[in-house]
Amino acid sequence: MANLNIKSEEANTYGAIVIGSGMSGGFAAKELCDKGVKTLVLERGRSVVHNKDYPTTNMLPWEFDHKGQIPEDIQRENPVVSRCYAFREDAAHFFVKDKEHPYIQEKPFDWIRGYQTGGKSLLWARQVQRWSDFDFEGPARDGFAVDWPIRYKDLAPWYSYVEKFVGVAGYADGIPQLPDGDFLPGIELTAVEDYFKGVVEQQYPGRNVISGRCAHITGNAEYYAKQGRGICQHRVLCQRGCPFGGYFSSNSATLPWAARTGNLTLQNDAVVHSIIYDEGKGKATGVRVIDAHTKEMTEYYAPVIFLNASALNTNLILMNSTSSRFPNGLGNDNDIMGKYIGFHNYRGGVSGEYEGLGDFTTEGKRPTSGYMPRFRNVQKQETNFLRGYAAGIHGTRAKHVSYDGLGEDLVNNISSAEYGSWHIGSHMMGETIPKETNYIALDESQKDEWGMPQLRVNVEYDQNDEDMIKDYREQVSEMFDAAGFKNIKTWDDERRPGLDIHEMGGVRMGHDPKTSLLNKHNQLHACPNVYVTDGACMTSTSTQNPSLTYMVLAARAVDHAFGNS
Amino acid sequence: MNRRLALKQLALAAGGIALIPSCTFSEEEVLTAYDELEITASDAEQLQAVIDTIFPKTTLKGGVELGVDQFVLVMANDCLAENEQQQFVKGLKGFGSFTKENFGTSFTKMDEAERKTHLQSMMAGTEKKGEQQLATQEFLAITKKFGLQGYMKSEYYMTEIMPYQQVPGPVFIGKKKIDASEKVNING
């Protein structure tokens, strides 16, 4: 018996365990495998193999039963995920349905999840802007959360490293608050965006409009061929999975790369219950895993554990990892785990029309659009709210057909089109202030199908967010007006927190074990062989789409754990 | 998969419809493909006549040829909120008798010009309406909306009228001088 146990323990022992195969877990796995570490990646959802399991990827628009729309009964049963812009007939199979994985909304919160190999990396919006010291120094300067234990210089080489592997299209724009990276050829702005850029940069010093840097391959084809990926063909059907591997996902890039080293074991349907803490050794020794189908529990062991289960699930796993040393969750000596949750405020929008540039249109499609880096409170505090917002800027030449009439008139109307004016739209991406009162916790009695405690989510907007929305609407409207745009409309769509799909925090980084959970290398202060390098680690949110920074932190943490071995 | 099979069965059912005298209307079987609607083959035929009037065959293909009527039923069955669905069904099921009462001839027995004129009048107007009149108006509005979607997302429209390219290629030109001789393509 004893022998058998030792044998199974040996069989279940790895050099490292990575919990989660999404954006950051995939990158951690690739780095570990490249360093020769036998790595077990645990993915709670089903297997999705690049190109093999993209059932809709080559479907033509007319081949969808509902031409893209989600049927009413599915929407009624799944109100949360139905609010996500990408939950459409072509990609619905990559989203978690509300009922299958319940959670408790103490306050309204849309938790959008992707439980499969690659997680949400299949579905992301692919915008990859670097952070700068204006972001890392924010909490210390403005007196919220705690000081980040890292600065831009700590991440800069890792940004370059990750960008090169991912493939990032962009221009060197020379903007202090949005550092340039190692870019492939950029994708140009549309005529109206470029015109707006000129107006803004001339009339509003310190404000810029750029082409959003995006994780798409636009050059260096030979290098990416080694990953089995090709140049982006601008299908802009990314959410289905890309047959060319044109955009970055764990499925197309990091996981197959890791697999080719021979060091990767990827286990699907593996719901992590908790991390095993050995009090004698004073460290984590492994992970308890529930088989999603049989519900049987198995233990896996490794000297180093990477936790990349997605921000809120990483919190859940740690809070569920209790022992007599850590009765409130692994590493949670200060009882702040699950608190200081942040997200991005996407509520504001502005649109307008431009009658100029009438002789021009665009040709082709593009996987990105214009972007205004944060311009509020960058160098110093100058408004009645803290921090600021970035803004998406997307301008297209309208083309209209008339739907008037019936019979031959109607058929004629819809078979010919004419140009309208240029349409320009914007949405805000606001930094939120992580607060103790925005928290998640485990419910004491309600469990899911796998016996895991359900998460209680208690996250809401505050007055700072409201003031920022007001300022965004005023400022962007004013800039649109300055550019001569007409018919300017502005709105607050009052979306719930979470729909930004940029939830962060709960296991924040910091200098001091009394006020933070992770050190500057993303190790739990109180259990340093556990690294948390997904959204849970974020001390503040900045305005930039966060995935790139998660991958950077993951790559850097692997280097810390295993050096140049 | 089931849906496609069901559509094939519907096509067969619709083919046999001419043999069923209208007096046995109420005894017709409900079409299983549209379980939410509980409509019969005669109802489907009625809708087909409406689609044929809204999207007739001209030098371009007509809506019926493109299966637009079947698409409208799929969407009404799967993608409408309950109250809209009730109005749609009420308007559709009462369409024959409503047109007969109001215009003296039921819709399917009208010639093409009459159909068009009366459809237009039924769809227009914001004055106070009776219950069935409202249902008819809503039924027709939904039929036109889904009909447009079905026509404009059909393979025919997206390949021959406004060609769609699934793989446009890596070139994107942000500022291109418009060539007036080039047809404006909403899917281009």
SS (H, E, C) A529-564: EEEECCHHHCCCCCCCCCHHHHHHHHHHHHHHHHCC
CB atoms within 10 A of CB A531: 27
Distance between CA A315 and CA A452 in Å, rounded?
Answer: 13
For CA atoms A460, A92, A242, A44, the dihedral sign is positive
Residues A523 and A558 in one domain: yes
- From the CA of B20, how many Å to the nearest CA of chain A? 29
CB contact under 8 A, B164 and A61: yes
Residue A284 lies in a domain: yes
pLDDT (tens digit, 9 = 90+) per residue, A471-513?
999 999 999 999 999 999 999 999 999 999 999 999 999 999 9
Give the pLDDT of residue B24.
Answer: 42
Q: At A308, list the tokens.
A: 């990349």
CB contact under 8 A, A190 and B148: no
pLDDT (tens digit, 9 = 90+) per residue, A244-258?
999 999 999 999 999
pLDDT (tens digit, 9 = 90+) per residue, B56-111?
999 999 999 999 999 999 999 999 999 999 999 999 999 999 999 999 999 999 99
User: Is the pLDDT at B26 greater than 70, yes or no?
Assistant: no
Residues A446 and A540 in one domain: yes
- Is A363 in CB contact (< 8 Å) with chain B? yes
The residue behind tokens 């997680």 is A119
CB contact under 8 A, A234 and B169: yes
pLDDT (tens digit, 9 = 90+) per residue, B101-140?
999 999 999 999 999 999 999 998 766 678 899 999 999 9
A401: chain B residues, CB-CB within 8 Å: 186
Distance between CA A91 and CA A55 in Å, rounded?
Answer: 9
What radius of gyration, in Å, describes the C-alpha atoms of chain B? 19
Domain of A39? 1-49+101-169+248-343+440-460+503-565
pLDDT (tens digit, 9 = 90+) per residue, B31-44?
888 888 999 999 99
Residues A352 and A490 in one domain: yes
Residues A288 and A384 in one domain: no
B177: chain A residues, CB-CB within 8 Å: 359-360
Residues A125 and A157 in one domain: yes
From residue A495, alpha-carbon distances to A146, A188, A319, A432, A508 in Å are 28, 31, 28, 14, 25
Q: Is 0.85 exceeded by the ipTM? A: yes
Residue A88 lies in a domain: no
What one-character-per-residue DSSP string does B107-145 give?
GGGS-HHHHHHHHHHHH---S---HHHHHHHHHHHHHHH
Give the pLDDT of residue B126.
Answer: 66
CB atoms within 10 A of CB A25: 32
pLDDT-based confidence at B25, cuts 50/70/90?
very low
Residues A257 and A300 in one domain: yes
- Is A407 in CB contact (< 8 Å) with chain B? yes
H or E stretch covering A280: none
Share of chain A above pLDDT 90, in %: 97
Residue A396 lies in a domain: yes
Give the pLDDT of residue A4.
Answer: 56
Distance between CA B94 and CA B173 in Å, rounded?
Answer: 52
Give the pLDDT of residue A10.
Answer: 87
Residues A151 and A194 in one domain: no
Q: What is the mean pLDDT of chain A?
A: 97
Give the pLDDT of residue A3.
Answer: 54
- From the CA of B24, how many Å to the nearest CA of chain A? 31
The model's pTM: 0.94
- From the CA of A393, how many Å to the nearest CA of chain B? 14
Residues A11 and A537: beta-carbon distance below 8 Å: no
Sheet with strand A270-278: strands edge to edge:
A270-278, A283-291, A297-301
Sites in chain A below the pLDDT cut of 50: 1, 565
Size of interface A-B (CB pairs under 8 A): 137
A283-291 and A270-278 beta bridge pairing: antiparallel
Could you tell me which chain A residue has the CA closest to the CA of B143? A406
CB atoms within 10 A of CB A412: 14
Q: Into how many domains does chain A fold?
A: 2
- Is A184 in CB contact (< 8 Å) with chain B? no
For CA atoms A243, A245, A249, A250, the dihedral sign is positive
Residues A259 and A116 in one domain: yes
Residue A230 lies in a domain: no
Q: At A138, list the tokens.
A: 């924010």
- Is A231 in CB contact (< 8 Å) with chain B? yes
CB contact under 8 A, A399 and B74: no
CATH number at residue A109: 3.50.50.60
User: Is the pLDDT at B12 greater than 60, yes or no?
Assistant: no
User: Is the pLDDT at B179 greater than 90, yes or no?
Assistant: yes
Residues A423 and A470 in one domain: yes
| Residue of A62, A72, A411 with shortest CB distance to B79 | A72
CB contact under 8 A, B158 and A60: yes
Residues A406 and A336 in one domain: no
